[in-house]
Amino acid sequence: MRETARVLQDALGLPIEEAYLEARLLAGHAISRNAAQLVAASEEVLNDEDQERIRALVERRRGGEPVAYIIGRREFFGLELKVTPAVLIPRPETELLVEQALARLPAGQPLRVLDLGTGSGAVAIAIAHERPDARVTATDRWEAALCVARENAAQLGARVRFVPSDWYAGLAGEAFDLIVSNPPYVAEGDPHLHQGDLRFEPREALVGGSDGLECLRRIVAGAPSYLRQGGWLLLEHGFDQGAECRFLLEETGFVEVFTARDLAGLERVSGGRLER
């Protein structure tokens, strides 16, 4: 594992702590050991077959392939989720969206929650896991993503209803108390699309038009038709899109508009309450 960490540090420019974490994940996956088992077996000598399996995974990582896709899973909000190249890799900053949603779900009330563009199901499943009394619906336009999300919900025992839908298209006549979304918000020409993990993730889950705001505009514009009076809309967005999101929300008639910052101090989630 020390050798693997050095290889990853040199190849990918990772901090040594991150390189060692990735080495542990890859080694554990290759020989079917969890973190505690790896520590307990720290003096164990690996056979040639085990070493070759680890080397094969390391080579994939050296080529830039995300660890989450290599091992097929990612932790999010304390839950282990299956991930495949059909879905965006859940990220720590998106946990802020879940936290903001939970803060707006009064206890003891069976409220209806909608997650638009659910991908792996991370946000919807986390909310359903924390609030099993909520009636959570999650949509995605891509069946491959919904298959992953359904499997995650079943594996974790989360009660989520999944609907094939291009944003609101499949939800005619429905109304919700809270709508959340982590939509595509990267601009088409953003150079980050050609760097790091983003090179391997589904483009349709990343790119939000020429300025990155196309999906955010559609979600905000459509929300009043699907929110109950006093309902909230919460959106994850790029670090430099907070002001534009607040403007969109206020222009559409939302009140109590706010933006929350992630652990890095960056504007990450904006939202507002529908008053009518």
Annotated binding site: 117-121, 140, 167, 182-185
269: left (phi over 0), alpha (psi -120 to 50) or beta: beta
Q: Known binding site for S-adenosyl-L-methionine: residues?
A: 117-121, 140, 167, 182
Contact 204, 262 (CB under 8 A): no
Contact 261, 90 (CB under 8 A): no
β-pairing verdict for 112-116 and 176-181: parallel
Contact 151, 82 (CB under 8 A): yes
| Pairwise CA distance, residues 114 & 181, whole Å | 8
| Pairwise CA distance, residues 231 & 62, whole Å | 46
DSSP letter at 131?
-
Q: Which two tokens stand for residue 123?
A: 């946000």
| Pairwise CA distance, residues 58 & 28, whole Å | 12
Q: Alpha helices, DSSP H only, in 131-263?
A: 143-156, 214-222, 242-251
Q: Known binding site for substrate: residues?
A: 182-185
CA 271 to chain centre: 18
How many CB atoms are closer than 10 A to CB 185? 23
Q: For residue 53, give the nearest of 86, 77, 30, 21 by alpha carbon.
A: 30
Strands (E), 59-110: 73-76, 79-82
